[in-house]
Structure 1
């Protein structure tokens, strides 16, 4: 007999996060790390349930963005040498705004202080002097001790964790702030695996580290987190995305133009129309938005609390020509879950400039072409005595100048700038000439499209959107409405009572379901109602109960209970593995049994 159930009990959004964090700690989803030593802000441990949910979400992402799209996957180190981040720009431009309390000495993100206490929603996009003015104008105070922050300097704080590679006078290194650089620095080898053919994509799921000024809201903002990133390399002149696959996907967009308008609002449209109307400027970004939206729906994000928001010009990362965030609503606030950026050729060009390798791909022409090329063949017997050890640098400067401005060689002398100092050379000593050359192709620097997903924030969103309360048999019930494909445990198996025969049969069934590849928990502790409640609270979609009819009837069967409705149905034991597997993949609905 099914349990009597009433639909959702009203609750305030403000309480959901507190209830979820308490449930997460009690049921093994996530909790602050190093609790025996007082804990440390910004670091969380995923417990047995959380690690399983997180792993299922990662597997679902891998299936959609690596396997289904035909992309490669790598696993790069989390520590990289300093020159990598000099080239990428992270040493100079990866900063947050810090303000320090003059009384208690606590450091806070200045933009968060502004956003939490004023009408400004995107203070991160404001310049530092303007943030200081806002703090003074609104007389904002320290979140820890209520001391006034007006007049306190707001400073840029680099978020990277520094370390040393090797002992003694070792080489400086950093924990990576994003997994992307592990892909970019290996491009010269990865392009060989792709047979030098564009487009191709490389994915990576792994840890990243940011020394957040004020980590907060449990696993939403941490100092160590997991990213799932795809770097997709394209020929900007020729490659077009297969928009026809996603053009009918319906999306909610919040473009920069609407954010800047006094009465701006979200735009509901399709991917195809958004591209045609110019709302999304990059067709490649639009394609991956179209891929991501149904995937988010499939893993359990509430589509009524989901949108794509375009970055304002002041908040875009230094490498992004355009960027859209996938955002979810949590307790009335929108949080970023992923960024979709068109990074152009910034990353590969920077690494080629700073390294000794080539970050281009040779593009073969359909037919050989005869072109005019400006070349130099300097007289080294002149350059050597004149410039000494800098002679080769002079040659490189002359080659660069000839390729971009051959008119500079029209006079009797040509000017170059070496380490900030101007030098004039006789043109006759440069060996300048314009020659006809037959070329089979050219080297091009691919552009990069990047969907970058925050796994921890997505896990939190899935749990928050799944959190539900109702009433069953006159008692309030808490349950997680998790999708069967990502739920950490798929089925609980129980003996109805403490009985050796029932327990033996239940253990055999649990073993058979595990052999089928299903995540199973066995529980014989407490009455059957409490065991149901425990599984409801961790989000287990189905429970199988072994009773006396199972062991005594001619046709052996069990009771299968569905979490959300609490309905129960009787199924033959022999059909159980196949039926439950079909329920997990969505090939079969519980109502169809």
Structure 2
């Protein structure tokens, strides 16, 4: 906005506002349940949007599942409560909520702070500090303008709760991420991988978070689609081959620059970033290198793309490092994906809570003789002493013996059970240290996770593709979508309403569909309006059948390119092969003859 516009009180409509209007009008996305007034945080993808979203998902699957040799699964979206007790979501999956004392509207406190102060990452601040910032800046309710100073900021769990089964049913939750569906199935998935590390498992599916204040259309919603890869590695044996990504150029915004007074993002390569310890985790570096050209291939503007490292306050406690892929939208940076090394936290937690084995056997090159601390508890003592908790006590003793054998040096050993400390005579534990010859050991794999938000990627692709220009002195709006992801690749039109023209155009449309191309047929309105309709939904090419097409032998058809609006005359019989080659990237439109 110019200074003059600000002075005059004028307001320039943002690209996002124009895009949301176009999306509703042309069938990309719109708020769900509109007949009942709509519901916040839920969106329906229309015919164009569903096709674009499906194409983005297919492109992701091609690169991160098929090209990398990874498996794909489809797990349920509802899972039982114990899964989320183990994962920590019941206790630590919270956002900060502040409620207006006047209108009662609830808001995300960190968003109120970020929108009205210089704080860019209020989510990483502790709750007392957020309360202090609200008071210091005298922040007000975005809905009614009432002051929020002095209002308590509370933690709000984002999980959607449900019940599984009738009557005294079991509690369950809609999954807040697709990852847990992969982690809990690891004992079986490792068998499909022949118990060999490394291996990856992908999943594309819905996730649910009961956002306090969903906003910015499909950027922050309560139901969304994720595309996640969980890559299981042996932390002592598996390193990636970085040669294929070392020269990939990236824009990085590391924590050191974010914390510096004059810090800023800079350009480098994956190889240089690793050599200079900017990216310290090799597997994270590898997937950052793989993801960048993929984002470019689906239409993300690389001048408005960067990788930002998580600050220490926002990084999950189990993650050794984490970087976000971010895109610029109307001057703001939004997260599209996260790349984290999660360690063995997830598998260890599910092993602890389920009692199943979440390890893989690592074979030694040669058998080793090692000392192992073991316990063989006296159950005639533990049974009467601990009742139903006796087996839990055994597990505690086994874990302690493996971790700290010196704990058994005295006459008794201490264990903690459900917050209470118990002393057990060492003689009742059956503790001993024995020499054992072992062929290998059980290893809990570490997990590297690239997690992509599909909806945000789709929004970014649309936003970065939005264009306005003039054609023949008329304003034009069009989406410069990549052919790989465009909902429709080619539109076919008869020049006029004429039986012969329409019959020929219909036959061409059928031939192009048989060639595997996405085709729309349109005979409504004048040809200029039909071109504009297809431009606005991002269709890369239009084929027009005219009288020359039916009256002359090899009369051909007019093929028009969306971006340049250039037109070329092409033989009808060659159309399927020619357009297929263009979509595959083997041929460019400008290379075609006049």
Deviation at 1:376, TM superposition (A): 2.6
Deviations 1:441-479 (A, max 9, x none): 111100000000000111110000000011000101000
Q: Is the 8 A contact 1:325 1:337 kept in 2?
A: yes
C-alpha spacing 1:425/1:489, structure 2 compared with 1 (3 Å): closer
Q: How does 1:190-229 map to 2 (within 5 A)?
A: 190-229=189-228
Deviation at 1:317, TM superposition (A): 2.9
Partner of 1:584: 583
Partner Cα distance (1:434, 1:185) in 2: 33
> Which range moves more in the overlay, 376-385 or 43-52?
376-385
Q: How does 1:394-543 map to 2 (within 5 A)?
A: 394-543=393-542
C-alpha spacing 1:422/1:84, structure 2 compared with 1 (3 Å): closer
Partner Cα distance (2:176, 2:202) in 1: 16
Do residues 32 (structure 1) and 31 (structure 2) align? yes
Q: Secondary structure at the match of 2:368?
A: strand
Deviations 1:207-234 (A, max 9, x none): 0000011111111111000000000000
Deviation at 1:423, TM superposition (A): 4.5
What root-mean-square deviation, in Å, do the aligned CA atoms of Structure 1 and Structure 2 show?
A: 1.5
Partner Cα distance (1:20, 1:324) in 2: 28
C-alpha spacing 1:543/1:373, structure 2 compared with 1 (3 Å): same
Partner Cα distance (2:21, 2:451) in 1: 29
Deviation at 1:409, TM superposition (A): 3.1
Q: Secondary structure at the match of 1:358?
A: coil
Partner Cα distance (1:289, 1:235) in 2: 20
Deviations 1:287-324 (A, max 9, x none): 00000000000000000000000111111234422211
Q: Secondary structure at the match of 1:574?
A: coil
Deviation at 1:419, TM superposition (A): 4.5
Partner of 2:127: 128
Q: How does 1:133-172 map to 2 (within 5 A)?
A: 133-172=132-171
Partner Cα distance (2:546, 2:454) in 1: 41
Partner Cα distance (2:395, 2:542) in 1: 72
Partner Cα distance (2:416, 2:531) in 1: 77
Partner Cα distance (1:571, 1:163) in 2: 58
Q: How does 1:274-285 map to 2 (within 5 A)?
A: 274-285=273-284
Q: Under a length normalisation based on structure 1, what TM-score does the superposition of the two structures give? A: 0.96
> Which range moves more in the overlay, 64-73 or 425-434?
425-434
Q: Is the 8 A contact 1:13 1:332 kept in 2?
A: no
Partner of 1:59: 58
Deviations 1:131-153 (A, max 9, x none): 11111111111111111111111
Q: Is the 8 A contact 1:13 1:331 kept in 2?
A: no
Do residues 15 (structure 1) and 14 (structure 2) align? yes
Partner Cα distance (2:570, 2:89) in 1: 58
Partner of 1:372: 371
Q: Secondary structure at the match of 1:104?
A: coil
Partner of 1:349: 348
Partner of 2:313: 314
Do residues 112 (structure 1) and 111 (structure 2) align? yes
C-alpha spacing 1:439/1:487, structure 2 compared with 1 (3 Å): same
Q: Under a length normalisation based on structure 2, what TM-score does the superposition of the two structures give? A: 0.96
Q: Is the 8 A contact 1:555 1:572 kept in 2?
A: yes
Partner Cα distance (2:388, 2:470) in 1: 83
Partner Cα distance (1:249, 1:195) in 2: 33
Deviation at 1:286, TM superposition (A): 0.6
> Which range moves more in the overlay, 391-400 or 140-149?
391-400
C-alpha spacing 1:248/1:14, structure 2 compared with 1 (3 Å): farther
C-alpha spacing 1:534/1:384, structure 2 compared with 1 (3 Å): closer
Partner of 2:7: none
Deviation at 1:382, TM superposition (A): 4.7
Deviations 1:374-398 (A, max 9, x none): 2233344554555555544443333
Partner Cα distance (2:524, 2:364) in 1: 72
Deviations 1:77-99 (A, max 9, x none): 00001110010000011111111
C-alpha spacing 1:480/1:151, structure 2 compared with 1 (3 Å): same
Partner Cα distance (1:385, 1:348) in 2: 33
Q: Secondary structure at the match of 2:582?
A: helix
Partner Cα distance (1:387, 1:85) in 2: 27
Partner Cα distance (1:533, 1:371) in 2: 75
Partner of 1:251: 250
Q: Is the 8 A contact 1:93 1:318 kept in 2?
A: no
Deviation at 1:431, TM superposition (A): 3.1
Partner Cα distance (2:23, 2:549) in 1: 35
Structure 1 residue runs of 5 or longer lacking an equivalent are: 1-11
C-alpha spacing 1:545/1:164, structure 2 compared with 1 (3 Å): same
Higher relative CO (Cα under 8 Å, sequence separation at least 6) belongs to: 1
Deviations 1:413-453 (A, max 9, x none): 44444445544444444333221111111111000000000
Partner Cα distance (1:467, 1:425) in 2: 70
> Which range moves more in the overlay, 420-429 or 112-121?
420-429
> Which range moves more in the overlay, 424-433 or 578-587?
424-433
Deviation at 1:548, TM superposition (A): 1.0
Partner Cα distance (1:577, 1:417) in 2: 71
Partner of 2:3: none
> Which range moves more in the overlay, 550-559 or 539-548?
550-559
Deviations 1:79-120 (A, max 9, x none): 001110010000011111111111111111111111111111
C-alpha spacing 1:14/1:318, structure 2 compared with 1 (3 Å): farther
Deviation at 1:497, TM superposition (A): 1.1
C-alpha spacing 1:158/1:379, structure 2 compared with 1 (3 Å): closer
Do residues 183 (structure 1) and 182 (structure 2) align? yes
Partner Cα distance (1:431, 1:363) in 2: 28
